Amino acid sequence: MSGSSSPGTELPAPVLPGPVLIVGTGLVGTSVGLALRRHGHDVWLADHDADNLAAAAALGAGRAGEPKAIGLVVAAVPPDHLGAAVVDALVRWDAAIVTDVGSVKTAPLEAVRASGTDLSRYVGSHPMAGSERSGPAAASASLFEGRAWAVTPHPKARSDAVETVRALAVACGASPVELTAEDHDAAVAQVSHLPHLMAVLAAARLVDAPHRHLSLSGQGLRDVTRVAAGDPTLWRQIVSANAAQLRDLLLDVRDDVDRLLAGLGDPGAPDLLELLRRGAAGTELIPGKHGKPTPAQAIVYVAVPDRPGELARLFADAGQSGVNVEDLHIDHDPARPVGLVEIVVSASSADRLVTSLTAQGWSVHR
Amino acid sequence: MSGSSSPGTELPAPVLPGPVLIVGTGLVGTSVGLALRRHGHDVWLADHDADNLAAAAALGAGRAGEPKAIGLVVAAVPPDHLGAAVVDALVRWDAAIVTDVGSVKTAPLEAVRASGTDLSRYVGSHPMAGSERSGPAAASASLFEGRAWAVTPHPKARSDAVETVRALAVACGASPVELTAEDHDAAVAQVSHLPHLMAVLAAARLVDAPHRHLSLSGQGLRDVTRVAAGDPTLWRQIVSANAAQLRDLLLDVRDDVDRLLAGLGDPGAPDLLELLRRGAAGTELIPGKHGKPTPAQAIVYVAVPDRPGELARLFADAGQSGVNVEDLHIDHDPARPVGLVEIVVSASSADRLVTSLTAQGWSVHR
């Protein structure tokens, strides 16, 4: 990575209008505070929940309370309360720039429009980061490190408001990605909310599965269902707030399920194969690292004894090959103390890695 | 791991009736040959495809051709041809034990029953291992290392046939898991085939997504959709062969999609929250390593420069903490040369890892 247009850790910390007020001290709000405090910004915290507020302040995310003037308000409350929180901030702090960090962007924008308050100072945003844990205790100054952060301007937004929200993302270590609120909501419906629901549909079937059936579980099942472990109460709000975008996708899914059911009865029917092909084609469209299309990659499998230190030894040995590891995953033997590590590397370097690791005594295959 | 009932790498190589004939020299058949040859077994190979056969033999998976006597036949052809291949093997080798390695187990068993041939010498099996690649060139002696291998006896199976197929799994480095063919097919419908279809449904939506929407893709999307990249032609056969088990699951999915669509219009409706809760509950039922329920785990996130050798340095440093890494994953910044590594460890050791890595200069959070 090089070039002046690339945001990098070497750039000076962006200037933010201060002080900053964070409304809502859950996982994301507290993490924003911690990230900004790292750069010395003056951060204030507000929350209806006195325990969360005290915890966030104790962690060093900012000071509890409200100063006389505020330069930037970050609304970090759950989706159901987001519109009201943004409108309230715009009214109470009539010189401040206001953003929010919610998972859906048209709903709060519409709430501001409907309220008749000053739209020009509001620019929504959405850091593409989270955790299966929640609350201020789960927060971290580096939660957004290396993540995309959607910034969603609208026609009436002041340019300095847009720049301020971009600067907030950069100050938190994230990379701003600019798009409209409508585009954002359509995008996350496709790349986040619908996939979440498909994971839920797969995982929900397991509740009635006999325990012995689950002994055949492999990495595929774990990957497909992992996100379904997220907080159901929060996801109910996210899905409901993006209902308009999700409805069309879910209608398409229902049509596909009907086609699958019809195709099951007739192995020669073209629908089943065509749908499987569309799925495979879809996976190839997901960008890989650095926003570029996924290059041709290969998986190298290595059997690793399930003991502390063995991974370190593996990666030290892999490092000697000079091959860059793009991704990796560990699968587990259901009955033996051996882990199977999948190392994803560029297709052109896989043979080199296999040769190198084999020479160092590892059990390796592609 | 200890105790005499636990299959371990220390046990002597199991005795297999030889010679072994492998019918079908694709990824799985060739890998079985390579694994058995590692122990010095006498392996013969057969395939209608002369190129695959020659490639498998050249790789050292066995000799092309058929000897006068055969002790064990392993049918490793695609699902559509599996029943015929098993029946053919039972008829031609009237003293041999016959197994297959297909993804669905009732269909070949029914084919043998319907043929009137000697059912007692046939025991189906299914190694829970695969690859996104296919053909003999993708094969490996360690493909099954550390994997579950389903063995599916039936009431008329000879006990020595069951023991032989179990021994085949162990000889290939896998852990045999015994269950009936019906139970196997119900199990893989839930833990493999339906999750595959849900991944396909999520990935299929991306084909029509504007490219800019995909810039917000994160690790969740990659995880949910990864398996959908598998060979559509092979999966068409697998899904069709397990149609009976999949139909009921897909009808349940359709009901859930209808409930989702109804719940979207009414945020207060209990159905949406209840389904999200079922999904979260389902994820907790997936066994973790060694067949035990997943212990309380925690994720530690570390920002890692995207250069060769940095992972080795990270795991060397992590190894110094004495914490055992249960799983890990790398996420990528869309615009910066920094990778975010997720290290899954037991919840009780997460703080120790965070403290240790932070002290060694890494940017870490939980």
CB contact under 8 A, B229 and A284: yes
CB contact under 8 A, B325 and A334: no
Report which of A317, A319, A322 is spatially closest to residue A349, judged by C-alpha positions. A322
Which sequence spans correspond to the domains of chain A?
20-179, 186-284, 291-365
> Both tokens of residue B356?
């240790």
Q: What does the pLDDT profile of chain A (366 residues) look like in tens digits?
A: 333 333 444 445 557 888 999 999 999 999 999 999 998 999 999 999 999 999 999 999 999 998 889 999 999 999 989 999 999 999 999 999 999 999 999 999 999 999 999 999 999 999 988 665 678 888 888 888 878 899 999 999 999 999 999 999 999 999 899 999 999 999 999 999 999 999 999 999 999 898 889 888 877 888 899 889 888 998 999 999 999 999 999 999 999 999 999 888 776 677 899 999 999 999 988 876 333 345 567 778 888 776 667 777 887 788 778 787 777 766 554 444 566 777 878 778 888 888 889 888 888 877
Q: CATH classification of B20-180, choosing from 3.30.1370.100, 3.30.450.20, 3.40.50.2030, 3.40.50.720?
A: 3.40.50.720
The pLDDT of residue B1: 31
What is the C-alpha radius of gyration for chain B, rounded to an integer number of angstroms? 24
Are A33 and A45 contacting, i.e. CB atoms less than 8 angstroms apart? yes
Residues 6+ apart with CB under 8 A from A50: none
Are A184 and B216 contacting, i.e. CB atoms less than 8 angstroms apart? yes
CA distance B334 to B363: 18
> What three-state secondary structure class fits B272?
helix
CA distance B47 to B65: 9
Instruction: Sheet with B20-23: list strands edge to edge.
Output: B63-64, B43-46, B20-23, B72-75, B97-100
CB atoms within 10 A of CB B208: 13
Closest residue to B333, CB basis, from A146, A207, A212: A146
Residues of chain A with Cβ-Cβ distance to B218 below 8 Å are 128, 147-148, 191-192
Are A60 and A34 contacting, i.e. CB atoms less than 8 angstroms apart? yes
CB contact under 8 A, B276 and A217: no
The pLDDT of residue A337: 54
The pLDDT of residue A50: 94
Q: Which residue of B has its CA nearest to A186?
A: B213
Are A138 and A164 contacting, i.e. CB atoms less than 8 angstroms apart? no
Closest residue to A206, CB basis, from B190, B261, B275: B190
CATH architecture type of domain B291-365: 2-Layer Sandwich (3.30)
**Nearest CA distance, B232 vs chain A (angstrom):** 5
Q: How far apart are the first and last CA of chain B?
A: 29
Q: What does the pLDDT profile of chain B (366 residues) look like in tens digits?
A: 333 333 444 445 557 888 999 999 999 999 999 999 998 999 999 999 999 999 999 999 999 998 889 999 999 999 989 999 999 999 999 999 999 999 999 999 999 999 999 999 999 999 988 665 678 888 888 888 878 899 999 999 999 999 999 999 999 999 899 999 999 999 999 999 999 999 999 999 999 898 889 888 877 888 899 889 888 998 999 999 999 999 999 999 999 999 999 888 776 677 899 999 999 999 988 876 333 335 567 778 888 776 667 777 887 788 778 787 777 766 554 444 566 777 878 778 888 888 889 888 888 877
CATH node for A186-284: 1.10.3660.10
- How does DSSP classify residue B242? T
The pLDDT of residue B3: 33
Closest residue to B143, CB basis, from A207, A312, A365: A365
The pLDDT of residue B330: 66
Specify the CATH superfamily of domain B186-283. Answer: 6-phosphogluconate dehydrogenase C-terminal like domain (1.10.3660.10)
ipTM higher than threshold 0.85: no
Specify the CATH superfamily of domain A20-179. Answer: NAD(P)-binding Rossmann-like Domain (3.40.50.720)
CA distance B20 to B265: 61
Q: Can you list the positions of beta strands (E) in B85-198?
A: 97-100, 124-127, 148-152, 175-178
Are A75 and A85 contacting, i.e. CB atoms less than 8 angstroms apart? yes
The pLDDT of residue B335: 47
Closest residue to B132, CB basis, from A221, A247, A299: A299
**Nearest CA distance, B99 vs chain A (angstrom):** 19
Residues of chain A with Cβ-Cβ distance to B301 below 8 Å are 140, 142-143, 145
Closest residue to B201, CB basis, from A146, A253, A311: A253
Altogether, the residues listed in chain A come to a count of 366
**Nearest CA distance, B298 vs chain A (angstrom):** 9
**Nearest CA distance, B100 vs chain A (angstrom):** 17
> What three-state secondary structure class fits B178?
strand
Interface probe for B, chosen from A9, A38, A177, A200 (most Cβ of B below 10 Å), is A200
pTM: 0.78
